[in-house]
Amino acid sequence: MFAYLDNSATTKPCPEAVAAMVEALETGWGNPSSLYRFGMDAARRLKAAREQVAKALGAESDRVFFTSGGTEADNWAVASSLARMGKRGRHVITTAVEHHAILNPMKRLEEQGYDVTYLKPDALGRVTLDALQAAIRPDTVLVSVMMVNNESGAVMPIGSMAKLTHRLAPDAIFHTDAVQGFLKLPFQAKTLGADLISVSSHKVHGPKGAGALYIRRGLPLPPLLLGGGQEGGYRSGTEATPALVGFGAACAAALPTLREDLAREAALRDRCAALLEAIPGVELLGAREAPHILLASIPGVPTQNTINILQDHGVCVSAGSACAKGHRSHVLEAMGLPPEVVDGAFRISLSRFTAEEELAQLEAGLRTVVERMRRP
């Protein structure tokens, strides 16, 4: 049996997404901007996909703008926000535990003369409201805080943070990278309070190459790409209709049983935590707040060794973020964990398709890791 426990890296496309993509590739491959019937059929499919994603986000469909994924949506949010704010301020706030799709644009901003404050997490990976309040200044123009950390599973108080930002810095824009929170936590874009929200398709059983940026009504941003004026003029370029149709289908498939699925994932997470706690040498880390993420470590055993042995047992887990290869986790370092814990850390991430048997397979594999690596 193959136990796939790396769903925060990517998810298996659900049958509904695959079927919708195949149909779009075979019969709906026209250009959505074309004015004849074949093109208008593609446009209809694109409109339906936007409505499906918007419903899952709790947003009006005309506030959802498609991208190639979460990284593009994050980069767009940062760059366009500051272009809009102009010379109103040079202070930006984010956290030390963001995805590199935020951290690397922040480094570029520092090179351009912006003052960037990186909020530090506690030992469980959580960033507090008090930390944000202490950091906001009169010249703050952008705050970007992720909804769920992709390594620790910590959940940030995004609604309260957005409200605080708008009260203390009324002109500032508040963005959240919700890639790990979308369809994992209950929220409605219309009431969350964030001005900008980034989401991704392949984290929710849709295809890779699709994502979206929610833009609050009344917040005009400069275009991301110039050209034919697609996506309301914000992002020019012929839309990747099959991928976006798959994204929409994945969202629609998740909604009917979402509450039950998330409760089941949280129960599996807790069951997994109990199994790991019973294995000598395994330490649980992180806040354990998101229903699908569990962080652990075998101090003294390099993560790659753990991954290799588990792979031999047919189990897939991750060395922190799969998007940043070959680097020690900046998230775990920011949490203040000892080097031997950081170097032995691995992440388990679940989905609605995770089976109980996969956890038993993980347990057996980890017992082999501990026995083999601790052998004199």
Average pLDDT, the chain: 94
Percentage of the chain with pLDDT > 90?
Answer: 85
| Domain 15-255 in the same topology as domain 3-12+257-373 | no
Q: Which of these ranges, 35-39, 181-185, 301-305, has the smallest mean pLDDT?
A: 35-39
Strands 315-316 and 3-4: parallel
What residue spans define the domains of the chain?
3-12+257-373, 15-255
- The answer to whether 158 touches 176, Cβ cutoff 8 Å, is yes
Decide if 251 is catalytic: no
Alpha-carbon gap, residue 265 to 233, rounded angstroms:
39
The single residue of 251, 272, 316, 323 carrying the catalytic annotation is 323
Considering the entire predicted model, what is its pTM?
Answer: 0.96
Q: Does residue 322 surpass a pLDDT of 50?
A: no
**Mean of pLDDT values over 100-114:** 96
Contacts of 350 (CB under 8 A, 6+ apart): 5, 7, 265, 268, 269, 272, 291, 292, 293, 294
- The answer to whether 358 touches 5, Cβ cutoff 8 Å, is yes
CATH code 3.40.710.10 for 15-255: no
Classify 14 as helix, strand or coil.
coil
121 secondary structure, DSSP code = P
Its CATH architecture, for the domain 3-12+257-373, is Alpha-Beta Complex (3.90)
Percentage of the chain with pLDDT > 70?
Answer: 97
Q: Tens of pLDDT along 10-27?
A: 999 999 999 999 999 999
- 31 band by pLDDT with thresholds 50, 70 and 90: confident
